[in-house]
Every structure is written in structure tokens, then in C-alpha cells.
Structure 1
């Protein structure tokens, strides 16, 4: 169940990662400016912001399973549309559709898994979605590399339809969650699903029943709760944690590393291959981070990650500036980008969503999570939209230095405002946030 649902995460990773290599060949086909390259990349993120904000409400209407099925269908249509796009505008529109699907599944897949999984493995199974995202990015990088010699960007983008078909078929054989079925007035079917997933003696638990009480009245109560100062402060902190993940410049490297390596003298084909190293480091680092975060602590992991990201970018800036047509400089730049990704994926990315999910109080959970997701995706869009024009205006070295500075600002924010939630119950975290606001 978790693996099939987490294919949504794999599609998330594939469609965000595939553009990094495809963009070099798309540029040749359509003769894109730096601004147009950024727009083709960033339109996916515009759609993702919309999908993330609306995903919860769609899941309340269509069900978790129905929403994922709709997302899978959107992934199939969007991938095929990308493959046959005849203009930059058409490609941007197709990428926007894919983005809406990405944003929606980024909210609903963890929701589906958490509502289906037994308590004792819930954390690990929900985290599987995060691991599948970076695996999807690595699959995209490997696909780009395999097709680099042919330059077939249409096939690179179109192959995203394959896992989407598997997700569609897989979700057709899975049931919806007990929480949604109770909400729809089907307690008998909800109990049958519980026993199918957890054994013949399973009963409907209180979490499922409580979840079923969410309604339009609950959403109105959440909006009212945001008027409470400590709740509003906590949601703002959650939103800024989401922004923190992006202002390190992580996705500038994930999306544009081949483009940046191409600018310092590597051939187009060789530049595409460099993403394999970054993608492999990303998967391994994410797996390691997931295995140690409960021992190290969420806040401490975030602090370590931000320090590592800022330091590696501070060194990368001058090295990249001196790397033009230098084999040694190119290798050093790629190595430093990889070090940056290790800190980002092992610490910053792993800690971000876990912290957000733990500090947003129940009083405004649905709306607060939606706002945090919206903030993260808007920041992601800004980074993707601004990066290549910034490189063109001030050069790669100063662009990397800029992200080192913004990463340092994010570190100051984390030290001053982000609590440690490791080892605390959600009730204890809630009490801490209330006290901190006084």
C-alpha cells in the first residue's frame, strides 16, 4: 500500500528532476533566453503551489484515493503533452498541469499513508514518500544521461507517464482510508478496510473517528483559530521553515547543475552526466538523515544542515568563478555542489516537513499545513524563476554567494524561533509554542 501510494512521490521527484538535463536540449529546439528557461522550469512550481493549497480540500471531496487517482491521470496527460509540445507556451502549460498534480500528491499521499498505516510503523512509511521523491529525481537523472547522446528531450519528459500508469493501476486496487469512509457515512466499509489492513481483530480507532469530524465547520474553526496570537505565530514559523528549505538554493542546484557545469566548459552530454552524482548523493543522504533524525533531533539537524549548506556555497562561489575551461576547477565545483546536496538532503530537507507537521497545532492543522506548503512552493518558484537570470546578470559565483547569505539568514531564524520537537509529544510541543508566544 505504502509503496504504491508513494509512487506519487517518485513522480514528484521525476518531474522536478528531469528538467535539469532536458533543459539543455529544449534550449536548442526553441532557442530560449535565460528568462524563458527559468519560466519553463518554474511553471511547474506555480502549479505545485496551487495543487498543494487545494489538495486537502479536493481530498475531502473526492477522497484520498480518488485524489491520487486524479493526480495519476493528470501525470499521464501532462507527460504526454510535454512530449508533443510544439511551442514554449505549450510546454509551459503542460508543466503547469504536472505541477498541480505534484502539489496535490505532495499533500495527499502522506495523508493517505498516515491514515492507513499501523501506528508503530506510521513514521517510517510516511517518510517513504520523502525517500521516493529523491529516488524519482535520481531516476530522472539516469534517464537524462541514457538519452543524452540522442538529445531526445521529448522522450525524457514523456517517460514520466510510465510510473504514472503504474500509480493509476495500483490505486485502482487499493481502498480509500477509513477516515474518509467514516466521513462519507460508511462505517461498515471503513471497518472492513481496517481489518483488511490490520488484521481480523482490528477496530476503528479514535484517530479515524476524530478525522471524520473534519468538515466545512472545522475549516471555519481553523480560520477563526488563526486570530489567536500564539496559533498565528506558530503557523507563520511553520511557513518560514518551509521557506528556509528553499532559500538555501537547493533546487537551483537540483534543477540547474548541468546548465551551470555546461557554462564552465563541460560538453552538453558530460554536463547531463554530472547530475547522476548529485542524484545518487541525494538518495543516500536522505536515507541516512531519516535513520538518525530521531536520535540527533529535528532542530539540531536543521542547524547542522544550514551551517553545512552555507559553508559549502561560500567555498563554491570563488571556486566556480575560477572554473572556466578548467578541468580541475570543474571537478572541484561539482564536488562542492555534491557536498551541499549532502547537507541539504540529509538534514535540511528531512527536518523541514517533520518540524512543520509537529508544530502546527490541531486548532489550525489543515489550513496551517496548506499555508506552509504554499509558502514552500512559492519560495521554490522564486528560486527557480530568478536563478538563471541572476547568473546571467552577476555570474555564477555571486549567485552562489547570494544563497550562502540567505542560508545564513535562515540559520539565524532557526536559532531564534524554531523549537526542538524531538522526544516531545504533540501536546508538549503545543504547550511550548503557547508559552513562547507570551
Structure 2
């Protein structure tokens, strides 16, 4: 697709990138077949091909309108279209630039919408504020409407973390913005499992939000600052000079939230033009690994830890978009759990988004609700067909979004943790 950049974009990093990405698009339309919003709305402009044309028009100098912004807002950024595209169009980075341009060229959003977006960007990323709000929310949860209750999962007793400095091998972990307050057992289970495998998991106190939340809400400079702060917080661990490292450099930055993982793996790309952080950002991206990329190297030991109890488990796996389309990790978890003796299956539309998509479930509530209902129907059919006991996923957003009254939904690392605990004579209790 040939693009003649408008004068204001010629020679700029964004303009150059957009022109390069658009040049790969052949307008084939394969992407529309796997786009959740196109499937729901049937509007060309609510599919990847239509949105690409809208961004092309902006790049060539046509003024963006509120309607343009609306079509770009409706995109889930699930990146399923990237997995489908035969030409390798980098849609995820294209939509980020398109949204920024549309925001710059259109009138300010309505006051209440701006306030909501500000509250999400700054409230969800403030750990103290969010954790306290979640504690209060759990107390008054019985009095709340069902739609709000679903955003406050009761979760499990998070248990304890293993003692520090037990092992020579060190790895970092990002604990996340909402995960510690919303579903703390995910992080604690990750610490426990890795300790059983001979790895000390470290968390840098000064690290915070990965930057995705603000970045995708068009507060891109604030998102970049979150990324720079994390790089500064992690660098002593990468060099092995942090006291907790005991002279050992960390071997990986573990991710147990695939939404954070896909962003951190792209630090090198996002900060490539930053003269101070570009090289460090690429090192961070290279070190970033989802848990499912690390555990297979400990497979034999893991098999011994979970024992024969694993063969009693049947699960349905919901692969988050950020894992299968963003990080391009598909099939690895199914393979690993299968080797542990766990019967694992996916549902009919496992390639499609559940509708969570970060803040999408709040900002695009109607579309999100439709996608959630479709996904839960298909997941429950798979549960019934395969007589599974639970649904597992790999991202806190999906796990929270898919909570229901019929089948438990949890992180797959919690399943591994519970199997190890049962095999060692200790069973986790629920609240």
C-alpha cells in the first residue's frame, strides 16, 4: 500500500514507521475474518483493514474526526489480525500511532470521559490507592450490583512466600499494578513454584506499572516515563549489584501477566529513539520471559514435584491475546501441562479475544460484555465436553473478566502450585 506522507510527518519517527508498516498491507482482508469487533458490528471501519485506511488518510494529511477516533477506540488491540496477516503488517504499533494522531487532531473528549480515562490511568497504576480500594471493595462487595462485584474477585488465600536468598539462580519479576491487590495468589504461587525449582525470585521495590495502561490510553509520554522508571529500577539487578542479588546477575525478568509481558518485550522497540534508554531497553526486552517460556527447562523436576496428582486434573485453557498474538507464544503451555499429565483443552474460539483488553471492558462496556458472553458460553461448552474442573489463563485481566458462578477461573501457575502443595501434603484453602 503506497502512502504519500503529509509534510508534517515526513522525516518524523512516527511518520517513517507508519509509511513502512502501511507498505506491507496488500488490502487482502484476511484480517477481518479474525477481528472480534468486525464480527460483532459488521462495519469495515471497525475491522483492521478499515482502521488501516483511516490511519493512512491521517498520514496523508486528512484531518481526523471524532468518528475516526471512535473507530480506533473500538479496537481491542488483541492483534489477532497480526497472526492472520500473510504480509506481516505490524498492526499493533500502527494503531498506537494512529490513536495518538487522532487524539491530537480532534476536539477534546467529553468532560466525564476525560475524567474516567484519567482515573483509570492514574488510579489503576497507583498500587497503594488501588490496593486500599480493593480492600474496601471486598468488604462492601455483597452490597454491590453484579456488574461491579465481578470486578472484585474474592480470590484465594495467597499463602506465604518462600524465604529469600535460598538459591544461587536469581530472576526478577514484575508484580504488576492491579494483580497484587486483586489476585495476590498469582504472584505468591509464582514465587513458591520457582523456589521449588531452585530459583530465587526478586521484585525491585521501585518498579511499577509496565507502562501499557497509560500508553494505550494516549498518555504516551507518561507511559514512557513508567517504562524508564522500571529500567532504572531493574538495572542494578541486571548488573548483579543489588544487595538481594548476592553478586549474581538475574537470568530473566519473569512475567506472569501476559499483558505486561508483551509491553516489556517491546521496550526496545518503543524506546528505540531514546538516546539514554534505547540500549538498556533492548536488554530488558531480551531478558523478559513469560513463565511458560522458563518452566519447560525445569520439566523433569516439575514432573517430580507435582507427582501423579496431575493426572486427576482436567482444565480448559483460555490463551490471552497478549500471549498468543502479542508475544506469539502459542501451544507451549498446552505442551508443558500435557507433559505433566494434565488433560488440557481449548474452546472453539480460543483464538478470539474475551473482551477484557485492559481498560476496554470499562471504556467499551457493551462490546466487551458481548465478547465475554460469547467466550464464557464456549468455555463452558468445552468444560462440559471434556469434564474439566477449571478454566486457566495467563493474564490477570482475562482471569478477572471471566469470573463466573459455574467454573473456577485461575492462573495456570496457581494450578501448578496447588498440585505441588497437595503432593507435599499441604492443601491451599480458599477464602
TM-score by length of 2: 0.24
Greater fraction helix: 1
TM-score by length of 1: 0.23
Greater fraction strand: 2
The structure with higher relative contact order (CA 8 Å, sep 6+) is 1
